[in-house]
Amino acid sequence: MIAMVVVVPKPVINDPQGTTVKQGLRALGFAEVADARVGKYIELALDTASPEEATHRVEKMCRQLLANQVIEDFRFELVPATPSSKLPGGPDDGSEAPA
């Protein structure tokens, strides 16, 4: 199973990167951009027995490490793992570890 986690600053938190992205896009002619929030995207390959267990574990990961709940919100989606969705660098992926 693959967990796709998105962590973004809470709406009440100043987001200077988001402001810069919004201004840059508007300067390039994308006037329809009303706001932008810059966060982080984390993809996790999970080896769990069930979607319910995966949901519980990813929620716990987000609360304990991946998101600072004081200033960030998180959301995630679980999708079934396929051979093409295997994360590089994982066990038996055929790639070499970085030196």
**pLDDT tens per residue across span 71-91:** 999 999 999 988 765 666 654
CB 88 within 8 A of CB 95: yes
- Give the Cβ contact number of residue 19 at 10 Å: 14
User: Which helix H or strand E contains 84, and what residues bound it?
Assistant: none
This prediction's pTM: 0.78
Confidence band of 43 (pLDDT split at 50, 70, 90) = very high
Fold of 2-82: Mth169; Chain: A , (3.30.1280)
Tokens of 36: 């932008």
What whole-number distance in Å separates Cα of residue 25 and Cα of residue 37?
Answer: 13
What 3-state class would DSSP assign to 12?
coil
For residue 24, what pLDDT is reported? 98
